[in-house]
Amino acid sequence: MQKHLADARVNVELETEGMVLNIGPQHPATHGTLRVVVKLDGERVVSADPVIGYMHRGYEKLTEFRTYPQVTTLINRIDWLSSFANEVPFIHGAELLMGIEAPPRATYIRTVLTELSRIATFILFLGEMGVQVGALTPVFYGFRDREHVLNLIEAATGGRFHPNFNRIGGLKIDLPQGWIDDTRRVMAKVFKSVDDFEELLVGNEIFEVRTKGIGVIPSSVGAAYGVSGSNLRASGVDWDLRRDGPPYLAYRDLDWKVWTHPDGDSYSRYWVRMQETRESARMVLQMLDGLPSGPVMAKVPRIIKVPEGEVWVNTENPLGEMGYYLISKGATGPFRVKIRSASFSNVSILPWLLRGVYVPDIITILASLYFILGDIDR
Amino acid sequence: MTSLLPTHLPALLSLDLPWGLIVAIKTAVVLSIIPAGALILGYVFLLKMMSHMQSRLGPMDPGGFHGWFQLIGDGIKFIQKEDIVPAEADRRVFMAAPAVILISTFLIYLVIPAGPRLVVADLEVGIFYALAVSSLSVIGVLMAGWASANKYALMGALRAAAQLIAYELPLVLAVVGVVIQAGTMSLQGIVHFQANGEIFGFGGLGLPLILTQFVGFALFLIATQAELTQTPFDMPVAESELVAGYMVEYSGFRFLFFFMGEFGTAFAFAGIAATLFLGGWSIPGVEGTVADILGPMVLFTKIMVVAFLIFWVRFTYPRLREDQLQAIAWKYLIPISLLNILVTGIFKVVA
């Protein structure tokens, strides 16, 4: 990296005129409307500057004008690939303020659906990464296999992308009949699908030279920039809010492993997400075996008013740490909500990370950081 | 080219046709072969094979049975679209670039023989000529990239030019082994050499040069992949980074020209590979008019086999980086091809 930087500087001194290239807001690699302004010297990046805000929808402000049950409709759309996981921390925070606890069955189903949305998000990533480094085929497998998982989410919640299924104190309805058997079948498909991606890409020499050593995030730098989730675990930081954070959902009851990789490059980010997909599928199977019976809804008042107070809830979402700082003044809606979304912090490392790399590596790095535009701009 | 044609008149057809008519027929055949070849490859490999490999549903749907209407629908779509020239573009160069690429594809077909008499021009320097004119397409690519007044297009075009240096040498060197063994550069001569060859005294199959020049065949296919700007060497188009590289500003019929040029060149290169390494049109024991009738079919079958390999790789591998292609070409492909020439030369002298 240092060497590349020095080279780039020498070239500038030799009066090769730089070129400013706008990658985005309309560009296939930014899967959304991220704009990265890169200053190039030939094919080498001298400096890069991400410009965000093209997808700003003002959800933090909008929550102030909605009642608590209505807010889930909004926050569903922050990270639209794993909408269910977005609802969990907000609902959890409201429940903490109200002193309500969801019944065990509801907690388990929430955990299952959160892990399912993680699987759906990661399977798409596993394919998407292929197409960003030039292999066209995996992305189609990704979309195909994700569909099985989305069908499950749709069967349980009624929404493919935006379930809006969480209620303060539990869930809207119980699982449909036969859903558990279907889920077991789909989990078998998920294992097969991840194996396919491993065979297609991980052993491939071209994939390895394109990703190994590209976009290395040292653990200290990553932590300083607030990078979280799989991106940080790929840098060797053994930190997962499902295990290390304050207890939420049913993770404490499960037997599972946090995967890390020491290298911190694009390849290790791919590898970690691959392992986590498998781990999530294993967790889902465990939970299906031990699913408690009982109601899915606690006793809550007809009109929900959250008592005065403040709470900070952060959870391990598929893209990284997601947090809600919720302030209530005792009304039917929140007074103020601050949302900490994972992708916002994850892309903030881009100017540091993109210096000195080649143009094709920009795409590899953007793909391996795996952000969702809605999650950056909210 | 036209000045060479009359001397081959008697050889082409035993019928005594006027010279002008012969030229007209040849021109018509060559002109129709590019769209035909491009469409066949596009249909069989791009639409059907890729759909099966990638479990794509779209191209398998239109028209009912196996999505037969997809290609026609695509054609209609391209023709309907507006032919946009960017305001900043160098208009004339921008509009001429697709034609330059297509012409270079046309010129390759002139020397590929499809039967003992079915060849437009059996040049003495046939293979040399074919590789030379195929490089012309880079001029078209550079024209397109420069004239588009688009940074992505410019980068794509420059990558294509840089790529030329990397793959053209191994491409030529891979062929040299064949030329040494056959002792001629004429494609017709190479086919005859293979048809009359013997495998350890057994002449029933002829001697397809892939048996002795397998290294050359592999190198030729790898370099072809770069020549055709297909994955893993599709950096000039690289849709995930450069959007579509030098083609980014083209729309409608001109984009279709690029498309036809790409697949037409794939067809032509598969034809060259089939001719050089797989025996071309030749069927052992069949000669004369029968070979003229069966030859094109045999050649077509072999072209499809080679094209299958080319497209299989295209749909399987990720893309390399430009500097990595240079490294592969200079560190591996060129030394191996030089070694191949050396070994071939030794065998030629000793045997």
Q: In this complex, do B232 and A359 lie within 8 Å of one another by their Cβ atoms?
A: no
Rounded CA-CA distance B19/A320 in Å is: 75
The residues, any chain, with a CB within 8 Å of residue B6's CB and separated by 6 or more, are: B19
Half-sphere exposure of B289 (CA within 13 A, CB side): 3
What CATH class is the domain A59-377? mainly alpha
Cα–Cα distances in angstroms (integers) from residue A176 to residues A82, A145, A157, A182, A328, in the given order:
21, 22, 9, 11, 35
Inspect the interface and report whether the beta carbons of A360 and B232 lie closer than 8 Å.
no
What is the domain partition of chain A in residue ranges?
59-377
Selecting from B55, B151, B318 the residue whose C-beta is nearest the C-beta of A133 gives B318
| Cα–Cα distance measured from residue A147 to residue A138, given in angstroms and rounded to the nearest whole number | 14
The Cα B134–Cα B137 span in angstroms is 6
> Could you give the CA distance from residue B23 to residue B21 in angstroms, rounded to a whole number?
5
Structural domains in chain B (count): 1
Domain for residue B70, yes or no? no
Round the CA-based radius of gyration of chain A to a whole number and report it: 21
Burial of B331 (0-12, 13-18, 19+ CB in 10 A): exposed
| Per-residue pLDDT of chain A in tens (378 residues, 90 and over written 9) | 666 666 666 555 556 677 888 887 888 777 778 888 888 887 788 888 888 888 888 888 888 888 888 888 888 888 888 888 888 888 888 888 888 888 888 999 999 999 999 999 999 998 888 888 888 888 888 888 888 999 999 998 888 888 888 888 888 888 888 898 999 999 999 999 999 888 888 888 888 888 888 888 888 888 888 888 888 898 888 888 888 878 888 888 888 888 888 888 889 999 999 999 999 999 999 888 888 888 888 888 888 888 888 999 988 888 888 889 989 888 888 888 898 888 888 888 888 888 888 888 888 888 888 888 888 888
Average pLDDT over chain B, rounded to whole?
Answer: 81
Residue A29 touches partner B, C-beta closer than 8 Å: yes
Please give the Cα distance from A274 to A243 (Å, whole number): 19
Q: Please state the φ and ψ torsions of residue B112, each to the nearest 5 degrees.
A: -85, 120
pLDDT of residue B1: 40
| pLDDT above 80: residue B109 | yes
For chain B, percent of residues with pLDDT exceeding 90:
1
pTM of structure: 0.83
A204 touches chain B (CB under 8 A): yes
- What is the value of ipTM here, to two decimals? 0.76
Q: Which of A144, A206, A270, A361 to mutate to test the interface with B (most CBs of B within 10 A)?
A: A206
Pairing of strands A170-171, A166-167: antiparallel
User: From the CB of residue B296, how many other CB atoms can be counted at a distance below 10 Å?
Assistant: 15
Angle at B312 between CA B311 and CA B315, to 5 degrees: 85
Domain that holds residue B327: 83-350
| Chain B contact for A363 (CB, 8 A cutoff) | yes
Give the CA angle between residues B307, B160, B336 to the nearest 5°. 65
The span from the CA of A123 to the CA of A125, in Å, is 5
Q: How far is A39 from chain B (nearest CA, A)?
A: 12
Does B36 reside within a domain? no
- Given this model, what pLDDT does residue B6 score? 46
CA pair distance A74, A65, nearest whole angstrom: 11
Is there a contact between B232 and A206 if contact means CB atoms under 8 Å apart? yes
Using a CB-CB cut-off of 8 Å, the residues of chain A touching B155 are: 21, 43, 359
Rounded Cα distance between B253 and B88, Å, is 20
What would the two tokens of residue B229 be? Answer: 């700007």
Cis previous bond, A25, omega within 30: yes
Interchain contact B321–A (C-beta under 8 A) = yes
Q: Is residue B3 within 8 angstroms of chain A, CB to CB?
A: no
Residues pairing with A23 in the sheet: A36
pLDDT at residue A272, rounded to an integer: 92
How far is A110 from A297, CA to CA, in rounded Å?
12
What is the crossing angle of helices B151-182 and B187-196, to 10°?
Answer: 50
Does A144 touch chain B if contact means CB atoms closer than 8 Å? yes
In a domain, B105, yes or no: yes
- The chain B residue lying nearest A23, using CA atoms, is B241
For residue B318, give the nearest of A27, A144, A207 by CB distance.
A207
Digit-coded pLDDT (tens) for B71-99 = 888 888 888 888 888 888 888 888 888 88
Report pLDDT digits (tens) over B288-325.
777 777 778 888 888 888 989 888 888 888 888 888 88
Closest to A236 in 3D by CA, of A249, A247, A221, A225: A221
Q: Is residue B201 part of a domain?
A: yes
Q: Which residue, among A297, A329, A324, has the nearest Cα to A168 in the 3D structure? A: A297
Candidates A274, A265, A273; CA nearest to A210 is A265
| Calpha distance B342→B51 (Å, rounded) | 43
Residue B53 belongs to a domain: no
pLDDT tens, residue by residue, B16-43: 667 788 778 778 877 787 778 778 887 8
Contact A140 B56 (CB under 8 A): yes
CA distance B347 to A310: 86
Contact A360 B55 (CB under 8 A): no
Q: What is the pLDDT of residue B137?
A: 85
CA distance A20 to chain B (A): 9
- Single-letter code of the amino acid located at A229: G
Q: Give the torsion through C-alpha atoms of A348, A34, B54, A155, to 10 deg.
A: 80
State residue B151's pLDDT score: 85
Write the residue in B151, B152, B319 that is nearest to A134 by C-beta. Answer: B319
Asked if B316's CB is within 8 angstroms of A137's CB, the reply is: yes
Q: Residue A27: left (phi > 0), alpha (psi -120 to 50), or beta?
A: beta
pLDDT of B155-195, one tens digit each? 888 888 888 877 888 888 888 888 888 888 888 888 888 87
Distance from C-alpha of B172 to C-alpha of B211, rounded to nearest angstrom: 19
Whether chain A has a CB inside 8 Å of the CB on B239: the answer is: yes
Give contacts of A360 with chain B, Cβ < 8 Å: 235, 238, 241, 319, 321-322
Longest dimension (CA), chain B: 67
Question: Is B268 in contact with B198 (CB distance < 8 Å)?
Answer: no
Structure-derived torsion over alpha carbons of residues B4, B7, B12, B18, reported in degrees to the nearest 10: 100
Q: Which residue of B has its CA nearest to A367?
A: B240
List, in sequence order, every residue forming a beta bridge with A39; answer none if it has no partner. A20, A47
| Residues of chain B contacting residue A362, judged by C-beta atoms under 8 Å apart | 241
B51 interfacial to chain A (CB closer than 8 Å): no
Residue B9 counted as domain residue: no
Nearest CB to A210; choose among B54, B234, B318: B318
Phi, psi of A290 (to 5 degrees): -110, 30
Residues facing A314 on adjacent strands:
A323
The pLDDT score that the predictor gives to residue A12 is: 56
Residue B299, number of CB atoms within 10 A of its CB: 25
> Is B74 part of a structural domain of the chain?
no
DSSP A106-162: HHHHHHHHHHHHHHHHHHHHHHHHHHHTT--HHHHHHHHHHHHHHHHHHHHHS-SS-
